[in-house]
Amino acid sequence: MELIRGIYNILPAHHGCVLTIGNFDGVHRGHAEVITRLLAKAKQYKLPATVMLFEPQPQELFRGCDAPARLSLLRDKLMLLEELGVDRVVCVNFNHKFADIPADDFINELLVKRLGVKYLVVGDDFCFGRGRKGNFAMLQQAGERQGFAVENTRSFLLGDHRVSSTAVRQQLALGHLEQARRLLGHPYTISGRVAHGQKIGRTIGFPTANVALKRNVVPVRGVFAVRVYWSDSDIYEGVANIGFRPTVQGQICQLEVHLFDFDGDLYGKHVEVELVAKIRDEQPFQSLDALKQQILKDVNEAKALFSNDAS
């Protein structure tokens, strides 16, 4: 899969594509359905199946810490989109200058002249351009003039419920990981690079790997049973805390993972942490000894859960 970082890196060789546009946060089953249709059209037109997405996500630019919690970082999105068979991703730097491009210029200069779109798949609520004046009807009208077709993504339903990033966030916030997995079509994972922490866990017998979350808002909080893996590694089971570590006056929300049956150096490694089941909410303790006793309970509960899964 080819990644184009920024619209100024779109070359003449990239002209001609079938395209879908969106955030693709979480790359859930609704997104997978869109990609399936995109791939079919790409085969029909004999053109690359192309996804345009935005970094940061538009609401993160406009709303900052009030934006919806982010499900997946760019690296995670790219990995999942590649697994679905996408040929090319155009990652647009979403800043105020880009947001101020008139809707007509977005269509004529970017979609038609630079990308040469022949088939476009977008949601019928998609808005774009200065003042969000561009909409689905405008794209359809432009398509009739410029010679490209426009299709509505339509909602993907699971039972009677629409699959959306918002629905996934709601299930994660409630600790309903299995329901979130069903909406996503894959386990919910958080990835990141292991960094040095305060090493408090090591002093109480539970060394942890500290993973930077790189999000303004985190979609999950609490203590979880997890599976962890990295490049060329086995899969390790463990427990993880996602939160502010109130017992030690933590100020930044972070992910701390304690692995069972592992005694090695993870510093600098990029790890994938799959959340399997929520054990409890994060809570403050009166002392490190009380925290240690609770972690022991968490570890035993997680091991019992994994043991039941294996039997």
Query: Long-range contacts made by residues 30-33, C-beta under 8 angstroms, separation at least 24?
Result: 30/153, 30/155, 30/156, 30/162, 30/163, 30/164, 32/84, 32/185, 33/153, 33/156
Residue in 52, 145, 62 with CA at minimum distance from that of residue 104: 145
Using 50, 70 and 90 to split pLDDT, how confident is the model at 153? confident
| Of 17-21, 155-159, 287-291, minimum mean pLDDT range | 155-159
Q: What are phi and psi of 204, to 5 degrees?
A: -110, 15
CATH topology for the 187-310 domain: Elongation Factor Tu (Ef-tu); domain 3 (2.40.30)
Are 42 and 18 contacting, i.e. CB atoms less than 8 angstroms apart?
yes
Q: Looking at residue 287, what is its pLDDT?
A: 79
User: What digits encode the pLDDT tens for the residues 89-112?
Assistant: 999 999 999 999 999 999 999 999
Share the mean pLDDT of the chain.
89
Environment class of 292 (CB within 10 Å of its CB; exposed 0-12, middle 13-18, buried 19+): middle
Give the Cα separation of 7 and 30 in Å (integer): 26
CB 168 within 8 A of CB 175: no
pLDDT for 310 = 63
Q: What is the pLDDT of residues 279-297, one digit of tens each?
A: 999 887 777 888 888 889 9
Residue entry with tokens 């996503």: 184
pLDDT score of 119:
96
Give domain limits for the chain.
Answer: 2-158, 187-310
Q: Mean per-residue pLDDT for 17-43?
A: 94
Residue 200: per-residue pLDDT: 58
For residues 211 and 271, is the Cβ–Cβ distance under 8 A?
yes
Alpha-carbon distance values, 89 to 49, 52, 302 (Å): 9, 6, 38
Higher pLDDT, 304 or 288: 304
pLDDT tens for 137-146 read: 999 999 999 9
Give the span between the Cα atoms of 255 and 208, in whole angstroms: 9
pLDDT at 106 (0 to 100): 95
Lowest mean pLDDT among 4-18, 155-169, 184-198, 268-282: 155-169
Is residue 247 scored above 50 in pLDDT? Answer: no
Cα dist. 74→11, 208, 215, 306 in Å?
Answer: 22, 25, 11, 30
Question: What CATH code would you report for 2-158?
Answer: 3.40.50.620
Per-residue pLDDT at 195: 84
**Angle, alpha carbons 258-260-261 (nearest 5°):** 130
Contact 112, 126 (CB under 8 A): no
Residues 225, 276 contacting (CB under 8 angstroms): yes
